[in-house]
Amino acid sequence: MNEFTKEELGEIYWILEGCTMDYIGKENNQLINKIQSMIDNYCEHKETNHSYYSIYQCLKCGKLK
């Protein structure tokens, strides 16, 4: 699965934030909050190699690649 870039998340947030509350409804306000949380917690993934197994893991968030 491809991840959104921080810039793409910002664009999605901007589009949702620009919609009127009458149009997007209360449930999409939760979506706006989730997108904002994803932006706040975005990781640029600084990777290190576990040499024996050639497994890459982010030093910042621990995500395996």
- How far is it, in rounded angstroms, from Cα 47 to Cα 60? 8
Full pLDDT tens readout for the chain, 65 residues: 358 899 999 999 888 877 765 566 666 678 888 999 999 988 877 766 666 666 777 777 777 76
In this prediction the pTM is: 0.62
Q: What is the greatest pairwise CA distance in the chain?
A: 56
